[in-house]
Amino acid sequence: MSTTPNTPASASREPSCKVSAGPHDAPSSPAGKRPAPPCTLVIFGAGGDLTKRLLMPALYNLAVDGLLDDGMKIIGVNHGERETSVWREDLHKSLQQFAADKASTFHAGKLDDKAWNWVAQRLEYMAGEFETDDTFAKLKQKLDQSPGGNVIFYLAVTARFFKPIVEHLGKAGLLKEGEGAGEGNTGGFRRIVIEKPFGTDLASARDLNAHILSYADESQVYRIDHFLGKDTVQSILAVRFANALFEPIWRREYIDSVQITAAETIGVEGRGKFYEQTGAFRDMLPNHLFQLLGMVAMEPPNSFDAEAVRDKKAEISDAIQPLTADDVVFGQYEKGPAGIGYREEPDVAPDSTTETYAAARVYVENWRWAGVPFYLRTGKRLAARRTEISVQLKPVPFRLFRDTPVDALTPNVLTLRIDPAHGTSFDFNVKTPGPVMQIGAVQSSFDYADFFAERANVGYETLLYDCMLGDETLFQRADSIETSWCAVDDVLHPKTGGAIPVHGYAAGSEGPAEADALLARDGHSWRPLKQDAVEKK
């Protein structure tokens, strides 16, 4: 996303907002991009879903764009003996399936055999348990064959393996950077990529950070929040800072409230065991939704330099007023028009009190935002899939319309659509045609697809590429992770009042009525999930 170290701004990825001409025909190689430096990508969890569904498709897309170096290698580590050829074939089949699936964002249509073969030739499978010395000795032997080489260790594993893997890497000397410097090479980098969940609360996140940082330097740690890999999320900064229109009004004097929604229609999709431990709040709030909030609320950085951006985002997570039980509503889906209830899902306790929906009112205590409520909501099995941010402006004085038939004015709302629609819309008021002063609420929309050719993208391309380049802009720093968990700690561990009650909502509905009440007490209401545009009158 940002300019990379030693890279002039003009040579870095161009934010799509810079392309201002009309519709473009075909995807092209990203202008001015250079292949990442050679490296070995070691994937722990080679047999897992993440590798199959996201990492391989993303690597394939990067190969199609010519953004990987010929010297790249990919070592997949997993328990269980398996031939490399079998692993390759398995991955190839999955890619073919995704390519054929019209609903997937992979959008390859037909696989490019040349690109796939390029990736396939670089794949090597290595059997190994994640917690035994043997695995790391074997890995070291392999990596020692190219001393001084760059290595990325990708932890595509369940969270309980994060600590042991990092510890083994550290103890095996695999995290030492600059090894083998001299003799024509400058010594390689060693980076660790860690998936979410990064801890389950403040104490565990602190503990995990401390553990990792006792073996690696912060600059070697790439904590992923996959929402930041989405183009539409990165574009929030472009919309805010590349246009003169928004920034002057982007503050408490003009903004009434902000709604951030990540609504899903799917249920827990076989992840009952994980979800029972996690719940919607931990799964989405202090990470994905706070990241969106950070992009909306942060001050303009002086550059796209990673630390400049991350400093500004860190200020926001630090300024979030700690949430209390009064600020949140939890819900759980029950049997409804969209299917069975959560308690009937596999691996879910029949009397489970895990929330599948969470709504929160959040305040950012700084000069720009004091007093502006940010309403966040997320949930499974809701009425529509919709990830978006709606910024509602304050009402205008009504005096002028007092003696007309107009009885109320609809508020101006700017909506940034992240998924599945990609674009923006603005709700505003005009005079309806005719002799009488009547006001009609209308909507002006922009859709990415109308202006730009769609690029194959599963959301991990940028993240992997940036990690290879050493650009940490889109990754989370230890301090931000901790301040985010800190802001929700009282909800997770209430000092008084007991656990947050969980209210039922019908599968396929807009969520629990209690979430409506959370906003109603401030005189607000949620934007309906189902309704798309302002209806034509």
The residues annotated with a catalytic role in the active site are: 288
Size of the site for ligand BG6 (CB under 6 A): 5
Q: How far is the CB of 416 from ligand BG6 (least distance, A)?
A: 14
Tokens 């674009």, residue?
423
Element (H, E) at 391: strand 386-393
Distance in Å, CB of 263 to ligand BG6, minimum:
9
Binding-site residues from annotation for substrate? 226, 230, 264, 283, 380
For every residue of 347-361, DSSP letters joined together read: T--TT----SEEEEE
Nearer CB in complex with ligand BG6: 102/536: 102
Q: Would you state the structure tokens that stand for residue 404, as one six-digit string?
A: 């007309």
283 binds ligand BG6 (CB under 6 A): yes
Count of other CB atoms within 10 angstroms of residue 148:
15
Nearer to ligand BG6, 129 or 201 (CB): 201
Positions in 370-399 near ligand BG6 (CB under 6 A): 387
- End-to-end Cα separation, the chain, in angstroms: 41
Query: Considering the complex, what minimum distance in angstroms separates the CB of residue 292 from ligand BG6?
Result: 11
The separation between CA 386 and the C-alpha centre of its own chain, rounded to angstroms, equals 14
- Residues 190-229 within binding reach of ligand BG6 (CB under 6 A): 196
Q: How far is CA 76 from the centre of its chain?
A: 24
Shortest separation between residue 287's beta carbon and ligand BG6, angstroms:
7
Q: How many alpha carbons lie under 13 Å from residue 202 in its C-beta half-sphere?
A: 14
Q: How distant, in Å, are the alpha carbons of 234, 295, 296 from that of 237? A: 6, 6, 8
Q: Between 283 and 510, name the residue whose CB sits nearer to ligand BG6.
A: 283
**Rounded distance, CA 48 to CA 122, Å?**
19
Question: Which residues participate in the annotated binding site?
Answer: 129-130, 196, 226, 230, 264, 283, 380
Q: Site mask, ligand BG6, residues 222-261, x = CB under 6 A? A: ----------------------------------------
- Judged by CB, which is closer to ligand BG6: 378, or 412? 378
User: Per CB under 6 A, which of residues 406..435 are in contact with ligand BG6?
Assistant: 419
Does position 264 bind ligand BG6 by CB under 6 A? yes
Q: Are 191 and 220 in contact (CB under 8 A)?
A: yes
Cβ-based nearer residue to ligand BG6, 92 or 386: 386
Annotated binding site for NADP(+): 129-130, 196
Tell me: does residue 466 bind ligand BG6 (CB under 6 A). no
Q: How far is the CB of 387 from ligand BG6 (least distance, A)?
A: 5
Q: Where are the alpha helices (DSSP H) in 195-258?
A: 202-213, 231-241
The residue type at 13: R
CB-based closest residue to ligand BG6: 283
Please say whether the beta carbons of 531 and 421 come within 8 A: no
- Which H helix or E strand runs over 292? helix 290-297
Q: Where on the chain is the footprint of ligand BG6 (CB under 6 A)?
A: 196, 264, 283, 387, 419
